[in-house]
Amino acid sequence: MTELSFWKSVKNIAEAGKRAVLTVVFDAKESTPGKQGFKMIVDEDGNIQGSVGGGIMEHEVIKECLEIFGRPAAENYFKRYNHYGDAPGSTGMICCGSQIIGFAEVGKKDLSVLTEVEEAAEKNFGGVLTISRANFIFSNREKQSKKYNFDENEWKYSEVVGLKERIYIFGGGHVGLSISRIMAMLDFRVTVIEKRKDIFTLIGNDFADEIINEDYVKYSDRIIEDDFSYVVIVTPSHSHDKEVLRAVIGKRVRYIGMMGSKAKVKTIFEELGGEGIPEELLNKVHSPIGLPINSRTPDEIAVSIAAEIINVKNSMFF
């Protein structure tokens, strides 16, 4: 379920005038079924969207939500769920971790906030959603460097919403098309940059949010530099790959990957090193790109690249 579709569901419930409880994994330690930021909405009719991890623990969270509907509206609160087998106070799960899950009742009173969140997700401009004991608020002016923040002592949870991870794919050939398909499914904002025009893999790419017919290096200046940006270099020639890598290697992005054989990568790295590109920058490039799964077809290569990007994206949470 995409972020946009989730918040649309929450807004629809509020517009219908139903009582609903938003549950959010405020924090997660060690091994847990639901990670920080996982969300679920439960309405008074027992309808459920999203997930906080599934299993016994999610069953208990749903039960908690249904019990809330039997009481008058109250302040938001959070509960800790420990998963240590038969230990006292454990859920019985044997994951050996713990989660703090927040419960916030949302409804018509929150429609303005939910409308802003939905708009931010639709337009991909982002903002910060904050949940505290008494508040459920959103600001499109506020910024925070981390995707999620939780201060248990201050009773404050906040997260960046409405801002997708962005992937810039330099090269619109077969591999670029396959990467577009899988990264769109993973809810990335996909931009394909291809200097060639009218190639059938570009014409048939219905998955990219943007297709840019422009010189690769010229476009590189438009890359947004932050931890939400990922760069994949899969142009039709090693010379173009080298030009793009030279242009992007110093940018502050979360990931840079370049496709190529070990021999090709070694040659390009040596040439760029000879031009004065520092070794520490070259060492940050994921090349040969993707996890080593003996991929051969464009779709298999795209799977290996997507898996590597997911690993990089989620590494900050583990």
Give residue 141's pLDDT.
86
Residue where a domain stops, chosen among 116, 142, 161: 161
Contact 37, 25 (CB under 8 A): yes
Contact 235, 275 (CB under 8 A): no
Find the range with the poorest average confidence among 30-34, 94-98, 231-235.
94-98
Give residue 91's pLDDT.
59
| Mean pLDDT on 204-220 | 96
Find the range with the poorest average confidence among 123-132, 173-182, 217-226, 309-318.
309-318
Give residue 54's pLDDT.
84
Q: What is the mean pLDDT of the chain?
A: 92
**Same domain? 97 vs 148:** yes
**Same domain? 137 vs 267:** no
Residue where a domain stops, chosen among 142, 161, 180: 161
**Same domain? 99 vs 208:** no
CA gap 133, 136 in Å, rounded: 9
Q: What percent of the chain has pLDDT over 70?
A: 95
**Same domain? 267 vs 236:** yes
Look up the pTM and report it. 0.81
The tokens 């003996």 sit on which residue? 294
| Mean pLDDT on 176-195 | 97
**Same domain? 30 vs 67:** yes
Q: Which domain holds residue 15?
A: 3-161
**Same domain? 303 vs 189:** yes
Give residue 318's pLDDT.
45
Domain at 307, CATH number? 3.40.50.720
**Same domain? 150 vs 217:** no
Residue where a domain stops, chosen among 115, 132, 161: 161
pLDDT in tens, 49-94: 999 988 888 999 999 999 999 998 889 999 988 766 666 655 555 5
The angle that helices 238-248 and 262-274 make with each other, rounded to 10 degrees, is: 50
236, two tokens: 């039709």
**Same domain? 283 vs 142:** no
**Same domain? 272 vs 205:** yes
CA–CA distances in Å: residue 205 to residues 190, 214, 257? 11, 16, 21
**Same domain? 171 vs 157:** no
Instruction: Please tell me the total count of domains within the chain.
Output: 2
